[in-house]
Amino acid sequence: MASAQAARGTEPAWLGARRERAAAEAARLPLPDTKTHGWEFTDISGLDFERYAVATAGDGAAALPAPLFADLEPALELAFADGAVQVAGGERDGALVLPLAAALERAGEVVERHLGSVVSLDDPFVARNEVAWQAGALVYVPRGVRVEQPLVVRAGLSQDGLQLPWRTLVVLEEGAEATLFEEYLGPGEGVDALLNSVVEIVVGEGASLTYICGQRLSERSWGFASQRAHVARDGRLDWVVLGFGGANGKFRTETKLAGANSWARVTGAYAGRGRQHLDFDTTQEHASPHTTSDLAFRGLLSDRATAVWRGMIRVDPGAQRTDAFQESRNLLLSRNAHADAIPGLEIEANDVRCTHAAAVAQIDREQLFYLRAHGVPEQAARRLVIEGFLQELVERFPEGTVHDTLSSALDRRLVEILGA
């Protein structure tokens, strides 16, 4: 605690003021319950933030848990284990990947301009994060810079009783291009910890970001994320969301297409087992004309696992010629697994094309029968059907790093759920 207070003493005044406002909001705002809109299917009444000590540099583990995104060759990498820096990031061709606390000195103007510009303190999880964060990342790509190799940020949480209020700020200036992999990691089933992550993404005019975010926390841990992106005119955001770990929680993914001709695609997958409960809440907001969004989620659930996906396409007044699509499909591998898929539309413009689809089903018996009739053993046939269900997501990407890394991550999770 003393080291944390010392670090706070070196913070700029503007951040101290933000933390004070956040503390007031955190004290005022209760955590949601099942009567709160959007939380009807996720009961967090057993969550007590005070039971989890905020991870500091002194809590650092000897090593990170095994990565979710393996075999990457990053241009820059930043890694934290239980609040302590393990890999320090750096600079390449003007692009920065730095611990957020260090970025306050090295890129203070960027942080001050953008931190808190995309998310709001009227959210109880954001407010609590703002008060407490010490570990986090700045990813900054200046105007016109194209980073060819991926940027990588990893955060591990591997000790009982720790809370990681993680903060990520991603800023791409006009015409910049980058691919960012970010992952939250835990050591399997045995650790009771708490992740409260906030991610802010700023995509400048004509910039292009591919952002792949995955979590594989301990399956006893709480996991919460408030992730929001602001995409300017002619900007492009290709966003991948993977959820494999955690006992309970909610990940919120919100994209605001703020500038004309901006584009966003969201590709999501979750896979639960045991008694895991996975909750994903997505928003595609169209705030300007001639904008396009495309969202596809796939869920895979076994044993007594449960999941909920709630999606919203929101078209603001004046956002004419919007083209938006969302779909969520869930495959249940046992009779005791359960999924809810809830698409939604809020349209305040009259020249738009907005569609959605949702489905929850068991494995198709006709597909199994066809494969069995052609000599495929039952377990192999089940696996082929499941692989085909997930492969639809992988094929949204051309051959290359994102395609291959996504495919490998899904394959490894499938082995965990089905066995070798």
pLDDT tens digits along 296-351: 999 999 999 999 999 999 999 999 999 999 999 999 999 999 999 999 999 999 99
pLDDT tens digits along 96-124: 999 999 999 999 999 999 999 999 999 99
pLDDT tens digits along 42-63: 999 999 999 999 998 776 656 7
Written as one string, the DSSP assignment of 169-231 is: EEEE-TT-EEEEEEEEE--SSS---EEEEEEEEEE-TT-EEEEEEEEE--TTSEEEEEEEEEE
Query: What is the rounded CA–CA span in Å between residue 139 and residue 137?
Result: 6
93: alpha, beta or left, given left = phi > 0 and alpha = psi -120 to 50? left
312 DSSP 8-state letter: E
| pLDDT for residue 62 | 61
Beta strand residue intervals within 316-376, DSSP E: 322-332, 338-342, 345-347, 352-362
CA distances from 42 to 5, 179, 233, 309 (A): 35, 32, 36, 11
411: alpha, beta or left, given left = phi > 0 and alpha = psi -120 to 50? alpha
Those residues with Cβ within 8 angstroms of residue 247's Cβ, 6 or more apart along the chain or in another chain: 218, 219, 220, 221, 222, 275, 276, 277
Percent of the chain with pLDDT over 90: 87
pLDDT tens digits along 160-203: 999 999 999 999 999 999 999 999 999 876 899 999 999 999 99
- Contact between 46 and 220 (Cβ < 8 Å): no
Span 79-103, average pLDDT:
95
CA distances from 356 to 49, 179, 231, 323, 353 (A): 36, 28, 22, 11, 10
Strands 95-99 and 90-92: antiparallel
- Contact between 192 and 49 (Cβ < 8 Å): no
Query: What confidence category does residue 256 fall into, taking pLDDT thresholds of 50, 70 and 90?
Result: very high
| pLDDT for residue 61 | 59
Query: What is the rounded CA–CA span in Å between residue 36 and residue 49?
Result: 19
- Share the mean pLDDT of the chain: 94
Residue 87 has pLDDT above 60, yes or no: yes
pLDDT tens digits along 11-34: 999 999 999 999 999 999 999 999
| pLDDT for residue 379 | 85
CA distances from 300 to 234, 336, 362, 369 (A): 35, 13, 10, 21
Query: What is the rounded CA–CA span in Å between residue 370 and residue 251?
Result: 38
- State the CB neighbour count (10 A cutoff) for residue 346: 12
| pLDDT for residue 63 | 76
| pLDDT for residue 2 | 39
| pLDDT for residue 174 | 98
Query: What is the rounded CA–CA span in Å between residue 140 and residue 143?
Result: 10
Percent of the chain with pLDDT over 70: 96
Query: What confidence category does residue 420 fall into, taking pLDDT thresholds of 50, 70 and 90?
Result: low
- State the CB neighbour count (10 A cutoff) for residue 192: 15
| pLDDT for residue 6 | 42
Q: Quick one: how many helices (H) and strands (E) in the chain? A: 8, 23
Written as one string, the DSSP assignment of 244-275 is: ---SEEEEEEEEEE-STT-EEEEEEEEEE-TT
From the list 346, 298, 341, the residue with the least C-alpha distance to 322 is 346
Helix (H) or strand (E) holding 38: none
| pLDDT for residue 370 | 82
Global pTM reads 0.95
pLDDT tens digits along 133-161: 999 999 999 999 999 999 999 999 989 99
3-class SS of residue 104: helix
Query: What is the rounded CA–CA span in Å between residue 418 and residue 420?
Result: 7
For the chain, which residues make up each domain, given as ranges?
A: 1-246, 274-362, 370-420
